Amino acid sequence: MSQQRPIAVTRVMERIEYIELYVSNNRCAAHFCRSALGFRVVGMAGFDVPEPDTCSIVMQNGPLRLLLTSPRLAESPAGEHIRKQGKGVKDILDLLAVQDETPSADCALTGIDRVAIALKAGELYKWVDFYRSAFDVIETHQEQVRTDYSSMRSKVVQSDSGSIRFPMMEPAPGKRKSQIEEYIHCHDRSGVQHLAFASRDIVKSLSAMASLGIEFLAIPPTYYETLNGPIGGSAQKEMDGLRRHGIVADRDEVGIVLQTFTKPVGPRATLFFEVIERKGAVGFGGGNIKALFEAVERPQAARGTLSCPR
């Protein structure tokens, strides 16, 4: 990893106002966000002026705001970024004033739950310490996950209010290349691996998103045979919906968390989305992580990257 921080955060934040993504064609990306995620265009800049080497489209769905930036010149910094690292998150900022929070389509998404950062092996503690000292966040969770093929270590830092969360993950020794290592290989460095969208009704969110063409990971049916105990009676009523949409569930001391992942949103595995609904839970679905990790490994194997030499 270079000496630059893995993502650019301008100052201590209590709310994510928008996330900037570098994409090769922001008009196509805007169409995807509009048709598959329910966003609408609320602003544009840099298209019909002589000087800027980038152009941007601001998309919004309720409180969610994405800034889609594309290069106008191949040799621009944005063009170089996309060539080397693929499409993905460039910045997380809280400086844009957009007041209209009326969603354009009801995918039941309510905000950004967390921003997950994939790191090179051996860098986890360094970057956790950096975020704690630079942005006044606290460390709240840690996990170590191992499957038959790969493993990872993770820690979570977040603001005091819990409104800003950064899970950080690094690969640990395993038999084959992990999803973290695949991301680093495709992205050329550490960075944001996925964005987690908060949902008020995950079954409704996934139904709407799937109908618009979003593909989600498949969870094996055997997972649900062992799910009854952990989630308790309230979520049992939703079991058919969980199974149908590949939603995994976990309980912490105060509630239940329901979540799932999309497949990568482009040909390079540099970004995917998570959808999560919290029914009082404040944790990160520790009981789900192995199931989700294994679900990621199946399409990774299909892409031929799970068995690549480490």
pLDDT tens by residue, 232-261: 554 556 777 888 888 988 888 888 889 999
Long-range pairs for 69-78: beta carbons < 8 A, 24 or more residues apart: 69/20, 69/21, 69/22, 69/23, 69/26, 70/22, 70/23, 70/24, 70/25, 70/26, 70/29, 71/24, 72/46, 77/53, 78/22, 78/53, 78/54
Domain stops at, among 28, 59, 93: 93
Q: Is residue 230, in this structure, part of any structural domain at all? A: yes
The more confidently predicted of residues 149 and 229 is: 149
* Positive or negative torsion for Cα 117, 122, 127, 129: positive
**Pair 37, 163 in one domain:** no
Domain stops at, among 32, 65, 93: 93
Q: Is residue 211, in this structure, part of any structural domain at all? A: yes
Q: Show the CA angle centred on residue 65, arms to residues 190 and 80, nearest 5°.
A: 40
Here the tokens at position 141 are 């969770």
pLDDT at 16: 80
Kindly report the average pLDDT of the chain as a whole number: 81
pLDDT band at 187 (very low <50, low <70, confident <90, very high): confident
**Pair 86, 114 in one domain:** no
Q: Is residue 98, in this structure, part of any structural domain at all? A: no
**Pair 149, 278 in one domain:** yes
Lowest mean pLDDT among 53-57, 119-123, 226-230, 246-250: 226-230
User: pTM of the entire structure?
Assistant: 0.80
**Pair 26, 158 in one domain:** no
How crowded is the C-beta side of 222, counted as CA atoms within 13 Å?
A: 3
Q: Is residue 3, in this structure, part of any structural domain at all? A: no
**Pair 275, 164 in one domain:** yes
**Pair 66, 151 in one domain:** no
pLDDT band at 8 (very low <50, low <70, confident <90, very high): very low
pLDDT band at 197 (very low <50, low <70, confident <90, very high): very high
Q: Which domain holds residue 272?
A: 109-303
**Pair 59, 193 in one domain:** no
**Pair 56, 158 in one domain:** no
Per-residue pLDDT tens over the stretch 111-135: 889 999 999 999 999 999 998 988 8
Q: Is residue 53, in this structure, part of any structural domain at all? A: yes
Domain stops at, among 58, 93, 128: 93
Q: Is residue 134, in this structure, part of any structural domain at all? A: yes
pLDDT at 150: 78
Question: How many independent structural domains does the chain possess?
Answer: 2
- Phi and psi of 202, rounded to 5°? -65, -35
pLDDT at 99: 37
Q: If you search the block for the tokens 């045979």, which residue do you land on?
A: 225
Query: Residue 49: which residues within 8 A CB-CB, separation 6 or more?
Result: none
Q: Using CA atoms, how far apart are residues 91 and 56, in angstroms rounded to an integer?
A: 13
Q: Which of 98-102, 108-112, 165-169 has the highest mean pLDDT?
A: 165-169
CATH code of 249's domain: 3.10.180.10
Q: What is the DSSP letter of 188?
A: S
Q: If you search the block for the tokens 């040909």, which residue do you land on?
A: 267
Q: Is residue 1, in this structure, part of any structural domain at all? A: no
**Pair 159, 22 in one domain:** no
**Pair 190, 63 in one domain:** no
Q: Which of 2-6, 15-19, 59-63, 144-148 has the highest mean pLDDT?
A: 59-63
Per-residue pLDDT tens over the stretch 16-38: 888 999 998 889 999 988 888 88
**Pair 87, 140 in one domain:** no
**Pair 281, 183 in one domain:** yes
- Return the closest-CA partner of residue 20 out of 4, 1, 35, 7: 7
